[in-house]
Structure 1
Amino acid sequence: MSKRIAGKTFSTPEEAGVTPPTDEELAHAEKLFDEFEEMIDAVAPEDRVKEVSPKFWDDISGTEYET
């Protein structure tokens, strides 16, 4: 059974009707990820972003779990 926590719904893949990815889909995703990592690694360390706004990673902001 799905659970609703902090405004988000969590379900099993079966409940959500999601089928597992095929080997081809996994290989394609891995290739895309590797290409993306190469782009990241090409940026000089001194040119990389040092701080990222919490709006990009803070999932509890604005929920009942916010402190």
Structure 2
Amino acid sequence: DWDESATPPRFAVESYLDHNASKFGSQFDANAYLAVARAMDHFDLGRGAAGYEEGVARIVAPALIVG
């Protein structure tokens, strides 16, 4: 939905995102979030291997891989 009376005009989802961003920000340390984001950006499971599959094959511990 589009609220033309708002200044500036906003989509309904924007208030939802604002609310949840505020809630998220009050529950988590921003530095911890940055550290996790940096780790996700720089970690490459296939680094030093012929590819992703070989990198995964080297894991010897139980793991949950989400992507």
TM-score between the two structures when normalised by the length of structure 2: 0.33
- Compare relative contact order (CA 8 Å, sep 6+) and give the higher one, 1 or 2: 1
TM-score, normalization by structure 1: 0.33
User: Which structure shows the higher helix fraction?
Assistant: 2
